[in-house]
Amino acid sequence: MIAGLRGCVNSPGKAEKEPYGIIVTMTTIIAVDIGGTQMRAACYAPDRVKPIKMKKVPTLASKPGGLERLMRAIEDVWSPDNDVAAIGLGSPGPLDPHTGFLLAPPNNPEWHNFPLAPQVSERFGVKAFLDNDANLAGLGEYRFGAGKGHHNVLYITVSTGIGAGVIIEDRLLQGYHGLAAELGHVIVDPDGPPCSCGFSGHLESFSSGPAIVKYVLKELDSGTRSILKRDAAMTARDVAEAAHQGDALAIKAYQRAGEYLGIGVASFLHAFDPSIVIFGGGVSQVGNLLFDSFHTSLKNRVFHPRYLEGLVITTAELGDDAGLLGARALAEMKMNL
């Protein structure tokens, strides 16, 4: 057992008992997923995928007091009857998983250069481990989802941005500065459009949801005909719906996104040689609209077909729980549980 505060149980307020009233404690993990709109904390038993207890609170990133809201969420899933081994924390980056510091999370200036994991560890008296949300979603899929049974996993989320997590020989790739696997910011065309980060030609600037919309708006401005009308509130889902109605511009926008996604993933195969590529995120849910051109592009750009032999390409299984389960897996791996 890990010394320190004592954690969650199967039923709140009740401990497991052996005959003659001997209390048997259970080592548990607390996982935290810090999202743009809400923070979730959950307590996990070692032999269960579903949490024993979960708490959701609004992130309210633009308002002060975020740390205290996070601490209270952890307290709400913490019960005095069993031992908590560690706390896993997932947050948008950039961050340093080696020190547990948040460097510059978007829309949250209160937490810039902030020692989140050390603060949580000091408050609760157990070790706390931090990593970025895409890494942990990949780790969650590797441990509990679509990547279970694989030892070399590439996870890519295609949504508002493009993030990734890479597992090599059962180890999460973090890198010297803890900034590895920022694959959405790999350059696929140095003369390409500007990315959300300010640089040009990144994969995210071609294949993310906002990139698809920007391409459509640009084409509409140039006079391309479409059932889509210029609208500042347009989303990638709107473009997908138009594509399913046969709109040529909308179809071309997704084909273009898939083509560049194939360019990027071909390079990732060359770098990491995974046995499975897992796609998550809302944009990846459109199916063949994106992936027909992706598969063609990928096949045309790997420099040897061996990379594709036995390669599984699939979609994520864990949905919104991937980040939480990844934070749990991070803590368990760090504590050798």
- Mean pLDDT in residue range 222-230: 96
Give the mean pLDDT of the chain.
91
Query: What is the fold of 148-316?
Result: Nucleotidyltransferase; domain 5 (3.30.420)
What is the per-residue pLDDT for 132?
94
Rounded CA-CA distance 1/8 in Å is 13
Q: What angle do CA 52, 57, 62 make, to 5 degrees?
A: 150
Residue 82 pLDDT more than 80?
A: no
- Mean pLDDT in residue range 61-81: 86
Q: pTM value?
A: 0.89
C-beta contacts of 9-16 below 8 A and 24+ residues apart: 9/52, 9/79, 9/81, 9/82, 10/45, 10/52, 12/53, 12/79, 13/79, 13/81, 14/81, 15/81, 15/82
Residue 248 pLDDT more than 50?
A: yes
Domains 6-139 and 148-316 share a fold: yes
pLDDT-based confidence at residue 6 (cuts at 50, 70, 90): very low
Q: Residue ranges of the alpha helices (H) in 18-124? A: 66-76, 116-124
pLDDT-based confidence at residue 104 (cuts at 50, 70, 90): confident
Residue 60 pLDDT more than 80?
A: no
Residue 17 pLDDT more than 80?
A: no
Measured in degrees and rounded to the nearest 5, phi and psi for residue 103 equal -95, -55
What is the per-residue pLDDT for 5?
39
Rounded CA-CA distance 93/106 in Å is 8
pLDDT tens per residue, range 180-202 = 999 999 999 999 999 988 999 99
The domain segmentation of the chain, as residue ranges, is 6-139, 148-316
Query: What is the fold of 6-139?
Result: Nucleotidyltransferase; domain 5 (3.30.420)
